[in-house]
Amino acid sequence: MTKFAATTTVSSNASREEIERTLIRYGADQFMYGWQHDADMTAFRLGDRQIRFILPMPSKAERRFTHHSRGERTADAALKEWEQAVRQRWRALVLVIKAKLEAVESGISALEDEFLANIVLPDGGTAGAWMRPQIAEAYRIGAMPELLPILPAPGTP
C-alpha cells in the first residue's frame, strides 16, 4: 500500500501553516503547536472543545532511513529520507483535519463524532486515551460494563 503524500515536497512548516489557516477558516479561535524528540503536537479550540493531535515522529535511527538495498546510507542521505517521512506525516495530518472539519461543516457528522478520540478532557488527557482501555476490556470479557465508571450506582449520592 502506498502512503499518502509519500513523495511530497511540501515542508512540515508549510503543512503546519496550512492546518492553522484551515482551522481559522472553520472557526477555531485557538491554535498551538509544539514538539519533543519523538512527537509533534497540534492543538486547537473549536466551539467549546479543545482538540489535540499527537503526531508520532519516526526515529532517525530507523533502518529504513540509515540503510538501503545496497547497504548503509550516508548521514546526509539518511537525514533526507527521515525528513521525507516527517513531511509525509504532516501532509497526512493536514488531510485528516481538513476531512474531519469538512464532514462537520457539511452536516455529515458532528464535531464530537469526528474528533472524539482527540478531545481533551478536564484532566488533560484525551477521550481516546481514556476510552481505549475500556473498549479493550469490553472486548476481552465479551460484555459491556454494567455501569460507566464515572457514574454512581443507582440510589447512591
Tens digit of pLDDT for each residue in 75-85? 999 999 999 99
Side-chain-side CA neighbours of residue 71 (13 Å):
1
What the block records as the C-alpha cell of 16 is 503546519
So what's the pLDDT on residue 45? 98
pLDDT beyond 90 at 152: no
155 found inside a domain: no
The range of the structural domain enclosing residue 46 comes to 12-141
Residue 150 lies in a domain: no
AA identity, residue 76 = D
Predicted confidence band at 67 (pLDDT cuts at 50, 70, 90)? very high
In-domain check, residue 91: yes
Please list, in sequence order, all residues whose beta carbon lies within 8 angstroms of the beta carbon of residue 4, skipping any fewer than 6 positions away.
88, 91, 92, 95
Q: Is residue 3 part of a domain?
A: no
Domain count along the chain: 1
Q: Which three cell numbers stand for residue 143?
A: 460484555
Mean pLDDT estimate for the chain = 93
Q: Is 34 inside any structural domain?
A: yes
- Amino acid found at 149: P
- Residue 151 covered by a domain: no
Residue 114 lies in a domain: yes
Place of cell 511530497: 8
Average pLDDT of span 89-102: 98
Q: Would you say residue 107 lies in a domain? A: yes
